Chain A
């Protein structure tokens, strides 16, 4: 058990809709990362938050947004969904130093129909 909790495990929704993915980091970790995993793109970094503030942005679409709340849980919002957004979305947390490994949740599998 990594200590990182992601909900829901599965989401099935239609094109054009909006969904919210939730992540609770491991106790003590201030940094939260979001990754998208798909067969054709591999594991793509989306965004990082540290102690409530956005720290770094990766290949995140403008239709996607995220935030980290005072209790350190994070939410990833995906809007105007397209078929190509179907993927596994992972949240990971760390103590935020380059030598610290990431601790991953089990992911949310999003299917857009």
Chain B
């Protein structure tokens, strides 16, 4: 079985501050890892993905994530957030079944 744990349900941060959203996973097989963002009243959209190769992956809107196999983590980071980054962020993985498993989500709240 595979699972994704997002350790923080809510992360408040001030505008222009750095942020890290944490994601840990469990799988008995090799995985592909994804981060999605969901803005209010919209569906999820892809931020970035890790398939193989370099463990640091860059995505849209200045986000990046680092794959750490030994820690089974895939944390999302941004060096300076904007008000417009306020949204729900989901970590997801696909393993042997090719059915994406999602974490519970982290609500990023950016204060002015």
Contacts and interface: CB of A to CB of B under 8 A. Distances in A.
Interface of A: 2, 4, 33, 35, 42-43, 45, 48, 56, 58, 90, 92, 96-99, 101-107
Given A42-B104, A42-B105, A98-B94, A48 B99 contact: yes
Interface residues of B, number: 23
B24 interface: no
Contacts of B51: 99
14 contacts: A4-B43, A33-B99, A42-B102, A42-B105, A43-B102, A43-B104, A45-B101, A97-B98, A98-B94, A98-B95, A103-B46, A104-B36, A106-B43, A107-B43
Contacts of A35: 102
Contacts of B41: 106
A33 B34 CA distance: 16
A97 B51 CA distance: 12
Nearest to A58: B99
Contact of A43 (B46, B90, B98): B90
Contact of B44 (A42, A48, A56, A102): A102
B53 to A, nearest CB: 12
Nearest to B35: A101
A96 B98 contact: yes
Nearest to A97: B98
A43 B99 contact: no
Contacts of A99: 32, 49, 51, 94
A104 B47 CA distance: 13
A45 B100 CA distance: 8
Contacts of A106: 41-43
A2 B103 contact: no
B97 interface: yes
A106 to B, nearest CB: 5
Contacts of A2: 43, 45
